[in-house]
Amino acid sequence: MFLIYLRRELSRRKKAALVISMGLALGIALVITVTSVSSGMKQAQTQVLKSLYGIGTDMTVTKAAEAQSSSSARPKFNFDAKSDDSSTSQSSDRVMTAGGQTLASTKVADVAKQTGVSNAVGALSLNVMKVDGTFTQGKAKSTTSGGTGEGGQGGGQGGGQPGVQGGGASFDVNSYTVYGVDTANLTLGPLSSSKVTTGATFTSAQSNAKVAVVDSAYAKTKSLSVGKTVTIKSVKYTVIGISTATSGDSAANIYIPLKQAQTLASSANKVSTIYVKATDSQQISAVKSTIQKNISGTTVTTSADLAKTVSGSLSTATKLATSVGKWLSVAVLLAAFLVAALLTSSAVSRRVREFGTLKALGWKSGKVTRQVIGESFVNGLIGGALGIALGLGAAYVVTAISPTMTAELGSTTSSAGGPGGGGMGGGPGRQAASKAIEVALSAPVSLTTIALAAGLAIAGGLIAGGFGGWRASRMRPADALRSVA
């Protein structure tokens, strides 16, 4: 009887049911859209952070910044003078540790022993400034005067004056980044944000080998390929692999074994950055505090710290989606619930004769209430289905269009070698303290979001039905008689 009456009443009031369902559907669709876009923006931010950290890295440890004199960071180039050649070629490499700050390699083991740390790997970030060109030696000549000196014709004070004509110099300056990586642990650290697409990556046996992995963009610029060599500070390294950044941004131009990088920079047993993976991603703040407390003179930078330095359209849109978008969704959803409740109550008011008659026939108030709630429940299911369909459609459109967002990466410290750090090189492998990265936005919809949307739709229907059922339960048979008169 209940289901038969329910089906008949819904069929008889199709327009009213459709209006209530569409109101709930719009609210549900907005919730799904905002939630999916927010999820996509979080994924985009994670992608940007991985371009700095590398996959699997939760935080980095660097040496605390110290005051440095300007002269200590000023690059110097010394060339040998050669008088036997009229034109000589000169070349010199200046290898500097990014940020000028290093830690003892023993600190890597100290960090790995801390509570909450799953793994720790050291790396050395270098900036290489190469200057090469030619000197051209000038020729000495003297100029003569046409006058006559006191000592006789053509002599005396009217003689020639010495001078140099011709000569000069032409030099080219090339700056690039080199990263020394631990070949025994490549799953953590700077190279983990790239994928070797040509050739091979390092092996643990190549801990001190003269081999290199080159970033694809740099390899294209310098016409490098597997098997060719690159020269750094007069040392030739054989290219064994070409890597491509998986996040769309390169951490360094050239990767070499850590021991080789330490030799180039005259920094034996030194690292500039320690990459740390926590045992529990929910306890990163606690691990950070533990490291800073137990290992003095270090700066710990987490992904949360780095996220604060991300600006640009991605950051702005993320803030809007998580704050304005969230409250807008709540407001629209509440409005949809309120409209559904009012429409249901209005529909009940127009059914005075019907409910009064049913009560006169012996229907209890509870049964009348259940009837109204049942109708609203079905309306909620219909609204939920329509809302989920609209929300999935909107998310698909956003993913299909894939609007490009820009993330500006700033500095977290002035000179430390941590991610985004400033100073010469900007941070691990960075050539500047700020860099723009473009990320395509998607709008993934999870099963949790769909379940939440369905639950909200059902809740909206039940709330509207409960309010309308309460009004229907208060009607008396006498109200039906008055409406007939």
Alpha helices in 214-273 (DSSP H): 216-221, 258-264
- Which residues fall within 8 angstroms of residue 198, CB to CB, at 6 or more apart? 216, 225, 226, 241, 242
> Which is higher by pLDDT, 92 or 379?
379
What integer pLDDT is reported at residue 150 of this predicted model?
46
Model confidence at 467, pLDDT cuts 50, 70, 90, reads confident
Among 271, 297, 323, the domain-final residue is: 297
Among 254, 272, 297, the domain-final residue is: 297
Is 54's pLDDT higher than 90? no
102 and 246 share one domain: yes
391 and 261 share one domain: no
What integer pLDDT is reported at residue 90 of this predicted model?
65
Q: Which DSSP helix (H) or strand (E) runs through 405?
A: strand 404-409
37 and 100 share one domain: no
273 and 187 share one domain: yes
> Which is higher by pLDDT, 449 or 106?
106
Residue 472 to residue 66: CA distance in whole angstroms: 76
Q: Which one-letter amino acid corresponds to residue 72? A: S
Is 76 inside a domain boundary? no
- Which percentage of the chain shows pLDDT scores above 70? 62
What integer pLDDT is reported at residue 220 of this predicted model?
92
Closest CA to 245 of 430, 51, 64, 432: 51
Most confident region among 43-47, 121-125, 427-431 by mean pLDDT: 121-125
Torsion 221-222-223-229 (CA) sign: negative
Is 361's pLDDT higher than 50? yes
Model confidence at 77, pLDDT cuts 50, 70, 90, reads low
405 and 283 share one domain: no
238 and 370 share one domain: no
Number of structural domains the chain divides into: 2
Is 243's pLDDT higher than 60? yes
107 and 47 share one domain: no
What integer pLDDT is reported at residue 423 of this predicted model?
33
What integer pLDDT is reported at residue 225 of this predicted model?
94
238 and 360 share one domain: no
3-state secondary structure of 79: coil
Residue 215 to residue 224: CA distance in whole angstroms: 10
Is 344's pLDDT higher than 60? yes
What integer pLDDT is reported at residue 116 of this predicted model?
92
347 and 233 share one domain: no
CA dihedral angle for residue 474, residue 479, residue 480, residue 485, rounded to 10 degrees:
-170
Write out pLDDT tens, residues 373-423.
Answer: 777 888 888 888 998 999 899 889 988 887 776 666 554 443 334 433 333
CB atoms inside a 10 Å sphere around CB 482: 11
> Which is higher by pLDDT, 62 or 81?
62
Write out pLDDT tens, residues 13-45.
Answer: 777 777 778 888 888 888 888 888 878 777 776
Is 480 inside a domain boundary? yes
Is 65 inside a domain boundary? no
Closest CA to 58 of 257, 264, 290: 290
For the segment 456-480, the average pLDDT, to the nearest whole number, is 73
Is 63 inside a domain boundary? no
How long is the chain?
485
Closest CA to 464 of 374, 382, 331, 389: 374
120 and 193 share one domain: yes
> Which is higher by pLDDT, 480 or 470?
470
What integer pLDDT is reported at residue 414 of this predicted model?
37
Is 147 inside a domain boundary? no
What integer pLDDT is reported at residue 195 of this predicted model?
87
Is 142 inside a domain boundary? no
Is 161's pLDDT higher than 70? no
Is 405 inside a domain boundary? yes
Half-sphere exposure in the Cβ direction for 57 (13 Å, CA): 36
> Which is higher by pLDDT, 308 or 442?
442
> Which is higher by pLDDT, 30 or 75?
30
Poorest-pLDDT segment among 54-58, 59-63, 105-109: 54-58
Is 94's pLDDT higher than 90? no
> Which is higher by pLDDT, 79 or 154?
79
For the segment 99-108, the average pLDDT, to the nearest whole number, is 85
385 and 473 share one domain: yes
- Mean pLDDT, all residues of the chain: 75
Model confidence at 154, pLDDT cuts 50, 70, 90, reads very low
Among 297, 322, 337, the domain-final residue is: 297
Is 78 inside a domain boundary? no
CB atoms inside a 10 Å sphere around CB 174: 11
Backbone angles phi, psi at 312, to 5 degrees: 95, -170
What integer pLDDT is reported at residue 372 of this predicted model?
77
What integer pLDDT is reported at residue 320 of this predicted model?
60
Burial of 19 (0-12, 13-18, 19+ CB in 10 A): middle
Which structural domain, as residue segments, surrounds residue 342? 2-52+313-484
Backbone angles phi, psi at 96, to 5 degrees: -130, 145
Most confident region among 155-169, 284-298, 333-347, 375-389 by mean pLDDT: 284-298
Is 66's pLDDT higher than 80? no
Write out pLDDT tens, residues 181-240.
Answer: 999 988 888 888 788 999 999 999 999 999 999 999 899 999 999 999 999 988 999 999
114 and 197 share one domain: yes
